[in-house]
Every structure is written in structure tokens, then in C-alpha cells.
Structure 1
């Protein structure tokens, strides 16, 4: 009998120990260097590629680790019920070692596989798993013999009987695992002309993204020879006939140089993260409203009350268990009502509901301030920025950047309370139980947080690349919608469809890697939590069997730990969410850091127009300081005269208009532009542009009412003034023929454009100029 128990003990320890040693042996493994291809007269068309059965391998390892966890928990439950700790069985060592060995092999193997190590083809892993399965088979035989010799037991299904089920399952899982490790899939891939394998999307592609040196531009800007209204263009080929206000102008040379290096670090340090948050803090914190700050204070008080509720809940349940067991003479009803009240306050309809109601105005403040900040900054940016931006990409950046609005909420309501709960729990475990339990819980919490941070920082790189491809896909959407007519003219439906298909395919390649990395993170987190649950349960169960703690204390520990693990799981999710928000905010910060090149001087005055005489004096200008757009241009437009600028495309006509509007400022020594003798650089931009009316080459109308578009020349114009301007442009009679024509202010542009010729649309673009004339003279 003693020899049989000793054999069981040795087998239970030896089986997981072999896998544990194997797991530790692969820690120093590094990717093998690829040998240079051998020269051969035979040109290969396809090459075989070995693909491990990753999903099946990780699934079997996880299931095996789960059996060890369940075996250990059942052992603990029986020990608490019997109040006896079985000696010499080795079940506790088997459970702990097995969980560490198989969970560690799954996590570490997946990590090494991601890093490029051919871990699943290592012979030592196959040998360790096969040997462990054989030992488990011998363990099943010995346990079966001991059950027949010992006879019945107190419980219908004893722990010894259950001890057969899990090793038997591991024998089956180990056999399948060895077969999966020994028979990887073979896939034949095409070889490109340069002799390298095509980088197609497949399971063989590395899950680790290539190193990135910066925010690479998503698409190159058009070459200088295609810029409209700036450079002379060759007459050969198809001319591009885009509107002058929407075709990019060249970037300045210093902008081109600065675009090669990222303005924001792709792997931010803690100080950089703090700098980003502090930059946006005035818009996240309601610094301008005392009432909102009071609401934040009330939310903080509710958070502290919630911590007290969480700390009291397990003790209320433990007291109920003591009453049920007859260890306490207290009445059950006050304790039961207290427990129900605590559960109500802890639930989503208690303190959390009240806190959310109080926090809603603060959240709306953050959303409002952030969106207004980005919108106002976009309108203040110089013309040079808007001529080379992509509308779809900018909209996507604004959408993703809005995620930072809820960062303060996550920190206040999830991260801070979680750490407070952990601190309280450590104190409770140290006082109520012993310091070793508090130490185990602390190590588990620390390992969980550290693993979450390390793996999430690695996932951030892949997530950033996926966001880049998502922005490209959104940009193709916007380009095709904005240039729908051009696509139809040239029959580009198939071309654009293929371009979109390729963009989606590249996005989904990175999306797969992001999903895989997320599952890997969840796997590691669950293994750490399971180890903490098993180790802590064994410590408390041992105290119960020794009489140092009551069975109700075991209930308190399990309830407290489960209550603690909930926020801890939420902490991992919140860290990922905040980290993702910071990634998504990178481009928003880059957008907010975009300088406004044309600014009013501190002593700028309002433009005073008397005669409206315009004069260009020896004006020279270059967009990029390399190629000259205007060279020594001088002319004068007297009062009441009409002047036409005639020239081929690229002669500088649009450049003259942009300079007159101060879309660009002349450099020092670049001449002077004046109106009635006033240098336009010395007056405010608002007064300058209010005195000038322009009818663009292609009238672009707002997707709003016709009244809104007509009144855009004079903000706050009355309906009578808008109607008078429409009559002056000879458009009023046509507008009133619409069903809502009597309410000119509400006739929609879309209905108008479907019903009129293109020339009438241009007339609507002219009406705002007339609305300015109604108010004052116009240049």
C-alpha cells in the first residue's frame, strides 16, 4: 500500500515536471538564420511551406492545463468539506506543476512562434508530451487498481475516482497533440520572379509586423508637373481638369523634409503618453465649469462608497454561511437584508447607475470641447494644408481621435478603483488570513498587470498598422464618391473596385494578426488568474483543515477573489482601450500640431476700402522655394476697372488670386500687395476677405438649403435680404417654382441640382457676392 502511494506520488509529480522542464528549455530559443538560396539550373515554380497546426495545438494544450486546474480545485473542495488534507498523494503538486507546465508551454510557444521560432517542430516538445502521456496512462492504471482495493467512500463520486477522468483525458489529448506536432500541413506557394516567395496572405506569414521607422505617407502627392495653377505642364497626355481649389499645391521644401520623420513616436514612452494626455487635458477636464467639477467630486465620493461596498460584500456572505452552519447565534434576517442591499448597490442599477447619470454632462463637455477644438483648428489651417489633404483620411482621423474623449472616464471609474480594491484586498488577506496568501495574490496581480502591459505594447504596433490600412480604405471610399463623375467618364469602375479589393485584403491581413494577438493576450491573462485561484485556494483550504480558519472563511476568500478578478479583467481591457485610444489619437495630435502658416500680426488693423484700388508691386512667389510660380509681377487695378488675366494653365493666374486672398503670405523680399495703399499683411484676414467677392471656376455648394448658400455672403442675413439677392441674380423666379419655393430658405440644394442645368448652379454661386453688395461695396 505504501509503495503504491509512493508510486502515485512520483508519477503525479514527474508527468507535469517533464513538460515544465521542456517549457523552460525553449526560453532562450531564437529564430534560425535563413541560409542563402543555393544556385541551381532548375527554376522552381512553387516551394513547399510547412505550416504547424497552431489552432489545434494551442487548443489541446489549453484543455490539458484546464484539467490540472479542475483537478486541483476539486482536491481543495474535498479537503474543505472533509476538513482533512490528504498527505502523500501529490495531487496538489500535480495540479500546480501541470497548470504551469501546459499553460506556460501554450503561452510561451505561441510567443516564440510569433517571434519567428520554429517551436512546434522541436523534437524535445514532442518527446516531452509523449512521455507525459505515457506516465499519465500508468497513473490511470494505478489509480484504478487502488480504487478496487480500497472499496467505497463517503461520497458517491470520490476525488480518487475523479482522478482517473482527468489523466485519461490527458492521455487522449496528448496522443492527438503528438500527432498534430508530428504532421504539420504542407502548402505549396508560388515563387516570384526574383526568386522569393510571394507575400500572399496565409498562415505562414509572420504574425510580427515589420519594423516601422515612422508614419509613412499613405500615398504620394502628385508630381510638380501636374500641379494646377503653379507650374507649366507638358501638353502631352491627358490633362487633369480638377477644380483649382481642390488640386494640391506643392509642399514647401522644409515640409517635405519634416514629413520624412514622424512628429509622434511610434513606440511612446510613459513621458510621451503623459505629454499627450496633458496636451488634451484642458479639453477633457471641465476647467471652465464649477458645476461640472462638483459633479466630478460627487462621482469620486460614489467611487469611494463603492470600494466600501465591495469590501463588505464577502464578509456579509461569510456571515450568512456561519449562520447556516450554526456557528453564529445572530438572526439571519438583518444579515440577509444587508447582503441584498450590498448586492443592489454593487450592481449596475445601484451606485453605477447614479454615477453614470451624474457623469453624463461631464462626458458631453469632453465630447463637445474635443470636437470643437478639431473643427476650429481645421478651419484655421492654411490653404497649403487643405490643397494636399485627403478628405476621407481626415474624417477617419477625426472619428478615431474622438476615442480619447473617454480616456479620463476610464481612468477615474475603472483603473483607479481597481488599484484601490487590490490594495484593500491585500490588507484584508494579510489580517484575516496570513501574509503568504497576500504575497501570492500580490504576485498574481503584478504578473497580470505586467503581462497585460508588455503584450499590449507589442499589439500596439500591429494595431497601428491596421489603422493605417483602414484609413487608406476609407480614403478610397471618399475619393470615389467625390470623383464619381470622373470614374464614370473613364469607365474606371473595375479599376476602382480592384483597388478597393486590394486595400481591404491588406487591411484584413493585419486584422487577423490583431485578433490573434488579442486571443493570445486573453490566454495568458486567464492562465495567470487560474494559477492565482488554485494557489490561493490551496493555502486557505490548508488553514481550514488545520482549524486555523472556518469553512466560511473559504467562502469569503473565494468571493473576494472572484470579486477582485472582475475589475482585474476589466483593467486589462481598459489598458488596451486607453492604449488603443492613444494610438488612434496620434494622427489627431499630428493634425492639431499642424501650424497655421498665415496669421494676423499683433497690431493688424481692419481693412478700410475707399476706392478698392489693387496693386501688385514686384511680387515673386514660390510654393516650395525651389520652383518659381511668380517672378517680379507688377500691375495695378484702378477703381471701377475690369482686368483679365490671360495665360495657359500654370501661368500663375490662380496663384495671384490666392495671394490676394492671403491664402499664402509673401516672403521677405517677395514684393508687396496693397489695397488702397494698405499692405494686406498689415490687416486682418477677416476684413480682407469680407471686402472681396469671388465666383469660383466650379461652384461648389453646401449640402444644405439654397437660402443657406445664398446667405453665405453675409452671415445673419434676413430672409428678405436673401430673396432680394436671388432676384438680383435672376434666380428668384426659378426658385419659387419648387414645391417649397415660397420658403426659399428651406429649398434643398440636392432637389435644386436635379432640376436645373449646370449654369444655374453657377448663378447660385454668384448670389452670395450680390448679398455682400447689398451690405457694402465689393472689390
Structure 2
């Protein structure tokens, strides 16, 4: 993960980012140098005042005051400058960090969209959202820590220990190095132990977020069955897990902080006692005592960073681990390198399934050596019982999945060998379950073709028989449809999906139960509009209601993963033993019984 992030803070193709990093590091060096000079300036001021008092400063009071004031002013300026350099460094690096976060977040988002359907059918939206949110927050801290804390802290520890050893003796350097060593070992050991509590906390937070979002998305179902209290209790149970893990995290943090302070306080007391003994012996001055104290406190700053940075970096890396694991996942369905562009027109849109077999998992075979040919420019219908593989054919054609065996051709090109983006541009799909974005009706219609004009949008809406309804709404095309389009009826959502498919203007149109949520009159009008929209194009209609595909040029009947019958509507009805005849007869008798009951 660290190696991946270094590519963002030191990109080969962006000189301005590298220049900002160089400037930030220069400001860091300047701040460290100024910080180390502060105890020395204070030492000289104390020594001068102490020496002046011993020599009776009445001889030159103004001179002594001037020198002492200058030294103390220098002390203040050095402290302020060090702080100013640090803040300026943070301001300079902020753009690098935020730019990196933006690029990483965008790449993760794009990568998720590029993963195959199998991943998205298994994902948990709430947990995934939490993962990305925490990972993005952790990036900023880890980036800053790598550049400004880890290496500079080691440098400052070495510098302060060396100065103590040279100026004051090996015993002083030994205490400072011993303090650093014990402090580091204690911090790393306790932090490693605490890590598991953070992992439990993240898992509980993921679970809580997922349950909350899943319950809110299914708000109507909860209401239908009066299960509000049940949902609240489930949510509270997960929050209890989060509470327990959070308490353990907080308690172990208190233990870590107390131990760090105890180690540093013991080292500070020891080194101050050493300095006091040296002053009594006449080997050191009071100013040296102040300098040692200042340097050791200077040492406490990076030591504090060592503990907090390591702790926070560990936690941030845990938070980021799942997000970066997502980036390592590879889609099972993707274009080959240098794959040719798929060119499809009215004459070359023949679709062939040759010996296609497919299974969603071991022992769950859906298609078995299926063969069928869909002629260009014709309306083809695919019917069959539930689980016969009708919708699976669409998913394979759109390359949401790859066949277990066999090949699929459009024209003379194997769809596995062509550019996947060009393949999907060639196909418009109206799904059975039409889900809309939480935006305006215009936005959802425009999504079919982002380059389409407003006139094109209105024309597509008219063809889908929804324009007349939209103009009667108070906000017209600016009406908000709600999350997943819940403010619209099932029929309205389906007509929006049909309009989007018309607007996409692809040579191949697929309708997967496209009129299942419509009343008979609207269905008739839409079917009439779809005949105009599909004129000269290859269209595939998957249907349970056989009345919607009576005008199909050819109908394929699927049974047990294979084509059991094919022909026109009237041809298939000639055989009373055929599955199509049975389906047609069953539906008609069901409608007759319903009508007689209503009468």
C-alpha cells in the first residue's frame, strides 16, 4: 500500500506535484534546524545572565540587559520560525495530499465499476461505502506521516542524541538512547496488541452500516410486515459489538499513553539528576541544565510522534487495507489488449450462440450446448419457463459473464475477442427491474445518451408513452424520482427505461420483460411505438406474457437449457403437444378465469 501511495506523491508525469514535495521537505529541514537551535539560545541567555550576576552587573547594566534581551528575542524568533516553517510545510503539502486522495478515490470508484457482475451480486453496499470512506480518510494521514514524521523523526532523534553525547558526555547520550529504545519497543508492542481491537471495531462498523442501509432501502418491506422493532433490535445488536470493541480500543489507548509518559518521565528525571551532579562538580553550568532539559523536551516531540504516528498509521493501514484489496481484484470479464472495435450495422448484426453452456456455480448449470441464430433486422422472441436461461442469454451477450463452453458471435466476430466497450455500445437493454438514479426525470432519461439534445429526450419520452404524464407533473422534466425511482410507479419506471434504451440508439435492442409492469392499454401503445423504434434493427424480446411477442419474426422456446422449439407464433401453435402451445393455452385460460370471476 505504501509503495502504491508513493506513486501518487511522487508521480513521474506531474512535475508540479514533485516541486511541491521538494518545497515541503525543504521547509521541514529548516524547521528541524531551528528547533534544535532553540535550547542553545536559551542556554546562552541563562549563562550570560548567571555570569553577569556573579560579576556584579552594576558595572554595565545596560549592556547586559541589551545582550540578554537580544538572546531572548532570538529564542522567541527561533521558536516562532520553527512553528511557522511547520505550518507552511503543512499548507504546501496539503494540495499534494488532497490531490492524491482524489486520484486514489477516483481510481477505486472506477475500478469498482469495472469489476464483473459476480462481484457486485455478492457485495454489501453499506460495508463497501464504509470501507471507501475510512480508507480515504486514512490516506491523508499516512501520506503526511511518510513524508514528515517517519524519516524526520529518526533524523531528529539521532541529532539530539549526538549533541547530548558530544556536549555533555556518554552517560547523557546513553540515557536518551535508552529512553528512545524502551519507548519504541513498548509503543510497538502495545500498539501491535491493540490492533485486533481496531479490526473488530471496523468489522462491527461495517456490519452496522450495511444493516442500516439495507433496512432503509427496504423501507416498504419493513412497513408491510410491521418489523420496525425487529430491525431496530438487529441494528442495536451490531452497535453493541461496536461499543464493546470501541471501549477496548479506548482503554488500551489509555494504557499506552500512561506507559509512554512514565518512560519519558523516568528518563527526564535521570538526565536532570546527572546534569545537577555535573553542575555541583563545576563541569556544567546552569545554562547547560536548561539546554539538556530543552533538548530532552525536543526529543519528546518526535517520541510522541513515534507513538501516535505508528499507532495511527497502523490503524489507517487497517482502514485502507480493504480498499486497496479491492484494487487488486481483477475482473473475470475484460477486453484483451489491442482488441478490435466491434462494428455493427443493420446487415451485420446476426447473433449466433454456438454450443454455449453456462453455470453460475458447480451443479447449477443453466445452459447446455445451446445453439440459436438471431437474424439481423428482425424481431426475435425468447420464451420459456422460469430458470430456463432466458435472462442468462442477455447477460452472456452483454458479457456480464463468460460462457463455460462455446462461443457467441455478432456478425463474424467472437464477442470475447472484441473491445468490450464497443460491444456494450452496440446493445441497448431494457431490464425487467428498472432502477433509476436519485435525480430528476430528465437526468434519468438523458442517461441513455449524454450527448443527446433536449428535443431528442422529449422524442424518446413520447415514443415510450411517458411524455404526456411528465408534462402534467408540477416540475415536469425536473421532477425528482426519489432513491431507486421509488416516487414513480412500476409502469412509469419501466417507460423511463424504455425511453433510455431508445435514446441510446444502438443497432441491437433487448427487452427483458419490458412491459411486465404496464396495463394492457399502455402496453399496446408502447408495443406500437417499439415497432417503430426497432424498425431495421435486431431486437430480442424476452417475455412471459406471450401476447406481447405474437408479431415476432421468430420465437425460440427454451427448455432445460436448450432450444426445444422455434418458429413463428402461429407455426408453434400448430402443435398441441409443444411447450409453447401449453404456455399459450395456460395463460389464456388463466385470463378467461379471471374475467369470469370479475363478472
Pairwise TM-score range, normalised by the shorter structure: 0.7 to 0.9
SS at match of 1:645: strand
Q: Does 1:699 align with 2:434?
A: yes
Equivalent position of 1:531 in the other structure = 266
Distance in structure 2 (CA, Å) of the matches to 1:468 and 1:494: 23
Contact 2:17/2:96 (8 A) holds in 1: yes
SS at match of 2:45: helix
Q: Does 1:393 align with 2:118?
A: no
Contact 2:377/2:538 (8 A) holds in 1: no
Match of 1:335 among 71, 85, 88: 71
Q: 1:751 to 1:372 in 2, by over 3 A?
A: closer
Distance in structure 1 (CA, Å) of the matches to 2:484 and 2:369: 45
Q: Does 1:290 align with 2:15?
A: yes
Equivalent position of 2:89 in the other structure = 355
Match of 1:307 among 24, 32, 36: 32
Equivalent position of 2:281 in the other structure = 546
Shift, 1:282, TM fit: 1.8
1:157-176 matched pairs, under 5 angstroms: none
Match of 1:639 among 359, 376, 379: 376
Shift, 1:491, TM fit: 2.4
SS at match of 2:370: strand
Equivalent position of 1:381 in the other structure = 115
Q: Which digits, 9 at most, give the CA deviation of each residue in 1:512-550, with x for residues without a partner?
A: 221121111112111111110111111001111111111
Equivalent position of 2:360 in the other structure = 623
Unaligned runs of 5+ residues in structure 2 are: 54-63, 509-536, 540-599
Contact 1:466/1:507 (8 A) holds in 2: yes
Equivalent position of 1:666 in the other structure = 403
Shift, 1:367, TM fit: 0.7
Match of 1:728 among 457, 463, 471: 463
Q: 1:324 to 1:480 in 2, by over 3 A?
A: same
Equivalent position of 1:130 in the other structure = none
What is the count of residue pairs matched by the alignment? Answer: 497
Distance in structure 2 (CA, Å) of the matches to 1:726 and 1:774: 17
Equivalent position of 1:749 in the other structure = 481
Shift, 1:434, TM fit: 1.1
Contact 1:284/1:405 (8 A) holds in 2: no
SS at match of 2:465: coil
Equivalent position of 2:80 in the other structure = 344
Shift, 1:614, TM fit: 2.1
Q: Which digits, 9 at most, give the CA deviation of each residue in 1:32-77, with x for residues without a partner?
A: xxxxxxxxxxxxxxxxxxxxxxxxxxxxxxxxxxxxxxxxxxxxxx
Q: Does 1:770 align with 2:505?
A: no
Contact 1:469/1:506 (8 A) holds in 2: yes
Q: Does 1:581 align with 2:306?
A: no
Shift, 1:299, TM fit: 0.8
Distance in structure 1 (CA, Å) of the matches to 2:385 and 2:503: 32
Shift, 1:438, TM fit: 0.7
- Pairwise CA RMSD: 2.2
SS at match of 1:673: strand
Match of 2:148 among 402, 413, 416: 413
Equivalent position of 2:543 in the other structure = none
Equivalent position of 2:170 in the other structure = 435
Q: 1:588 to 1:558 in 2, by over 3 A?
A: same
Distance in structure 2 (CA, Å) of the matches to 1:654 and 1:705: 29
Q: 1:358 to 1:533 in 2, by over 3 A?
A: same
Distance in structure 2 (CA, Å) of the matches to 1:514 and 1:473: 18
Q: Which digits, 9 at most, give the CA deviation of each residue in 1:120-172, with x for residues without a partner?
A: xxxxxxxxxxxxxxxxxxxxxxxxxxxxxxxxxxxxxxxxxxxxxxxxxxxxx
SS at match of 2:505: helix
Shift, 1:751, TM fit: 10
SS at match of 2:371: strand
Contact 1:772/1:778 (8 A) holds in 2: no
Contact 1:617/1:634 (8 A) holds in 2: yes
Equivalent position of 1:124 in the other structure = none
Q: 1:561 to 1:751 in 2, by over 3 A?
A: closer
Contact 1:659/1:665 (8 A) holds in 2: yes
SS at match of 2:446: helix
Distance in structure 2 (CA, Å) of the matches to 1:331 and 1:463: 54
Further displaced range: 612-621 or 306-315: 612-621
Contact 2:438/2:484 (8 A) holds in 1: no
Contact 2:446/2:457 (8 A) holds in 1: yes
Q: Which digits, 9 at most, give the CA deviation of each residue in 1:429-456, with x for residues without a partner?
A: 1122111011111000111111111111
Q: Which digits, 9 at most, give the CA deviation of each residue in 1:175-226, with x for residues without a partner?
A: xxxxxxxxxxxxxxxxxxxxxxxxxxxxxxxxxxxxxxxxxxxxxxxxxxxx
Contact 2:188/2:310 (8 A) holds in 1: yes
SS at match of 1:671: strand
Match of 1:555 among 277, 286, 290: 290
Q: 1:636 to 1:715 in 2, by over 3 A?
A: same
SS at match of 2:332: coil
Q: Does 1:655 align with 2:392?
A: yes
Distance in structure 2 (CA, Å) of the matches to 1:572 and 1:412: 16
Distance in structure 2 (CA, Å) of the matches to 1:658 and 1:318: 78
Equivalent position of 1:492 in the other structure = 227
Q: Which digits, 9 at most, give the CA deviation of each residue in 1:560-586, with x for residues without a partner?
A: 212221231122101111111111122
SS at match of 1:713: coil
Q: Which digits, 9 at most, give the CA deviation of each residue in 1:256-311, with x for residues without a partner?
A: xxxxxxxxxxxxxxxxxxxx322343234333210111111111111111111111
Equivalent position of 1:478 in the other structure = 213
Shift, 1:757, TM fit: 3.1
Match of 1:463 among 193, 198, 212: 198
Distance in structure 2 (CA, Å) of the matches to 1:707 and 1:308: 60
Distance in structure 1 (CA, Å) of the matches to 2:331 and 2:167: 62
Q: 1:280 to 1:629 in 2, by over 3 A?
A: farther
Equivalent position of 1:714 in the other structure = 449
Shift, 1:641, TM fit: 3.4
Equivalent position of 1:135 in the other structure = none
SS at match of 2:206: helix
Equivalent position of 1:370 in the other structure = 104
Equivalent position of 2:491 in the other structure = 759
Taking structure 1 as the reference length, what is the TM-score of the superposition? 0.61
